[in-house]
Chains A and B, each alone.
Chain A
Amino acid sequence: MEISLIIRTPGTDPNQCKRAQDFIQSAVDQGHQIRQCFFQGAGVSAALNDRTLPRWRQLAALTGAELLLCSQAVEASALSVPEPFVIAGLGALVEAAVNADRLVSFV
């Protein structure tokens, strides 16, 4: 099964982001594919903090999933975007949702 994720977890609780990362790891362990992770709102800055970034890099290498940062949130926070993250618009999120078998949100 191909899965895409919307991640809006705030950085205030690192466990929330870890839950999304653990979900991805478990899904891949069970033979599923992660198509895209779309980080939106507070999820953007949470994805880029020092505690979570190394594991996102690890998961991107493991799954080949696109890690997309919502362009609005990046612009609003004036963040620099490290690899493997890519800036994307809502069209990419719509595409990810339409083409995946499941869309899972982490809030």
Chain B
Amino acid sequence: MPIGWCLLSNRKSWLITLAGAAPTSADSPDGTASTDGSDRSALQAGLDLALAAGAFGQRVTLVFAGDGVGLVTRTADAEDPLYRLLGSAPFYDIDSVYVLNKASPKTAFRDDLRVTAMSHREWLAAASEADIVVNY
């Protein structure tokens, strides 16, 4: 039986957190993190997995933290391939994404995605409810 059919009949909830490398001194003053020079490969790998899981009918909760936050802020480079790739998330049934509450309240998020703040307590609750928890 093709992989797709097996997966569609076995729908699980995933919590995928994209943090990349630890924040560095290159972070912007408003508390959001720069995606320049960080572990972009981890962010790319995690985002690819999230989209693949979404494509196979899995329920994906996507959370951004640390260096990953740069991908959901309005100040990020809109021409960045990773930024643009994230913009396709709704086509994979990932309709809202979350940001761990470290960003400043003044942080402006990109408007092509529904971005919601998530506290650490909420993240822990989401992790305990999810079937599959993966961090990148």
- A contact set with B: CB distance below 8 Å: 6, 8, 40-42, 70, 72, 89-95, 97-99, 103, 105, 107
Query: Is B49 in contact with A93, judged by CB distance below 8 angstroms?
Result: yes
Query: Is B42 in contact with A90, judged by CB distance below 8 angstroms?
Result: no
| CB nearest neighbor in B for A92 | B3
Query: Is A103 in contact with B41, judged by CB distance below 8 angstroms?
Result: no
Bitwise, B1-30 to A at CB < 8 A (1) or not (0) is: 001101100101010000000000000000
Query: Is B6 in contact with A94, judged by CB distance below 8 angstroms?
Result: no
| CB nearest neighbor in A for B41 | A41
Alpha-carbon gap, A1 to B88, bound state (A): 36
Query: Is A94 in contact with B42, judged by CB distance below 8 angstroms?
Result: no
**Chain A contact residues, majority secondary structure:** helix
**Please, which residues of chain B bring their CB within 8 A of the CB of A95?**
3, 6-7, 56
Tell whether A103 pairs with B134 under 8 Å between CB atoms, given A93-B52, A94-B53: yes
Query: Is A42 in contact with B3, judged by CB distance below 8 angstroms?
Result: no
Bitwise, B94-136 to A at CB < 8 A (1) or not (0) is: 0000000000000000000000000000000000000010110
**Please, which residues of chain A bring their CB within 8 A of the CB of B45?**
8, 40-41, 70
- B contact set with A: CB distance below 8 Å: 3-4, 6-7, 10, 12, 14, 41-42, 45, 48-49, 52-53, 56, 58, 132, 134-135
Query: Is A94 in contact with B56, judged by CB distance below 8 angstroms?
Result: yes
**Please, which residues of chain B bring their CB within 8 A of the CB of A98?**
6-7, 10, 12, 56, 58, 132
Alpha-carbon gap, A88 to B14, bound state (A): 21
**Please, which residues of chain B bring their CB within 8 A of the CB of A90?**
48-49, 52
Alpha-carbon gap, A93 to B14, bound state (A): 13
Query: Is B132 in contact with A91, judged by CB distance below 8 angstroms?
Result: no
| CB nearest neighbor in B for A70 | B45
**Please, which residues of chain B bring their CB within 8 A of the CB of A72?**
48
**Please, which residues of chain A bring their CB within 8 A of the CB of B132?**
97-98, 103
Query: Is B42 in contact with A41, judged by CB distance below 8 angstroms?
Result: yes
Please list the 9 inter-chain residue pairs (A to B) with the smallest Cβ-Cβ separation, ordered nearest first. Answer: A90-B52, A94-B53, A94-B56, A91-B3, A95-B3, A97-B132, A41-B41, A41-B45, A98-B10
Alpha-carbon gap, A93 to B48, bound state (A): 11
